[in-house]
Amino acid sequence: MIRLENVIKIYGEDYEKKIALNNICLEIKDGEFVAVTGPSGSGKSTLLNIIGCMDIPTKGRYYLDDTDITLKTKSQIEDIRKEKIGFVFQHFALMDYYTAYENIELPLIIKNIKRSERKRLVNEQLKLLGIEEVKDHIPSKMSGGQRQRVAIARALVSGCNILLADEPTGALDQATGREVMELLKEINKRGTTVIIVTHDINIANQTERIIEICDGKIKR
């Protein structure tokens, strides 16, 4: 479970100070499919970064599976992030000169997983996401939908139970965006908690719950 208690995030100091999140209280249960919406600058990405252990609150507490992240060291937080959380970005963030297979394999190499096990896990994701035919292609030789599927496979290959997606359909045409949303729904049905940041209310309405942020506060 994800739980934020009175979370405040402040950037800068004195007259340059900006309150990005203002007293956020929030719970997301295991297996939920949630959208975070709001205008630009509302605090959506800051919230996603804190949930994803990429940043920590200035004040307040963040609990992930009953672990108080705010009390952990930087290296401990990094280990938790690698184990529990996968990220998907609007512009895919793939390595340009790596094949689909190599891009998906990267998190496993970082975790020092044996080569034989890496091969099994990568091939499993290629099959699950329907991209076996592009495993030897570099990103420039793939469609937008294929690239996003590779990015999702890379996020999931380490066995994370939380998938965070920042505008996952933002760089895709409508038809491909619908395919990616169907894929995220299927991933959620398998038990993964999926949290999407989106400006698109039509995308948000496809999730189970919408969290709307404005000026660093939750409106609903």
Kindly state the average pLDDT of the residues 44-59: 93
Residue 60 has pLDDT above 90, yes or no: yes
- Predicted local distance difference test score (pLDDT) of residue 168: 86
- Predicted local distance difference test score (pLDDT) of residue 72: 94
Kindly state the average pLDDT of the residues 100-118: 93
Kindly state the average pLDDT of the residues 40-58: 92
75 band by pLDDT with thresholds 50, 70 and 90: very high
Predicted confidence (pLDDT) per residue in 129-187, tens digit:
899 999 999 999 999 899 999 999 999 998 899 999 988 888 788 888 888 899 999 99
Residue 93 has pLDDT above 90, yes or no: no
- Predicted local distance difference test score (pLDDT) of residue 90: 75
111 band by pLDDT with thresholds 50, 70 and 90: confident
This prediction has a pTM of 0.91
Give the per-residue SS3 of 145-205. HHHHHHHHHHHHCCCCCEEEEECCCCCCCHHHHHHHHHHHHHHHHCCCEEEEECCCHHHHC
Residue 29 has pLDDT above 90, yes or no: yes
Count other Cβ atoms within 10 Å, centred on residue 91.
13
- Predicted local distance difference test score (pLDDT) of residue 71: 93
Dihedral (Cα; 97, 102, 103, 106), 10-degree rounding: -120
- Predicted local distance difference test score (pLDDT) of residue 169: 85
Tokens at 147, concatenated: 């690239």
Separation CA 128–CA 148 (nearest Å) = 14
- Predicted local distance difference test score (pLDDT) of residue 18: 87
For residue 127, give the H/E element and its range: helix 115-128
Q: Across the chain, what does the average pLDDT equal?
A: 91
State CA 193 to chain mean position distance.
10
Residue 82 has pLDDT above 80, yes or no: yes
- Predicted local distance difference test score (pLDDT) of residue 171: 79
* Contacts of residue 115, Cβ cutoff 8 Å, sequence gap at least 6: none
Structural domains of the chain sorted by starting position, each given as residue range(s) with its CATH number in brackets: 2-218 (3.40.50.300)
Instruction: Annotate 10-27 with b (16+ C-beta within 10 A) or e (fewer).
Output: eeeeeeeeebbbbebebe
- Predicted local distance difference test score (pLDDT) of residue 179: 87
12 band by pLDDT with thresholds 50, 70 and 90: confident
Q: How many residues does the chain have?
A: 220
Residue 191 phi/psi, 5-degree rounding, is 115, -5
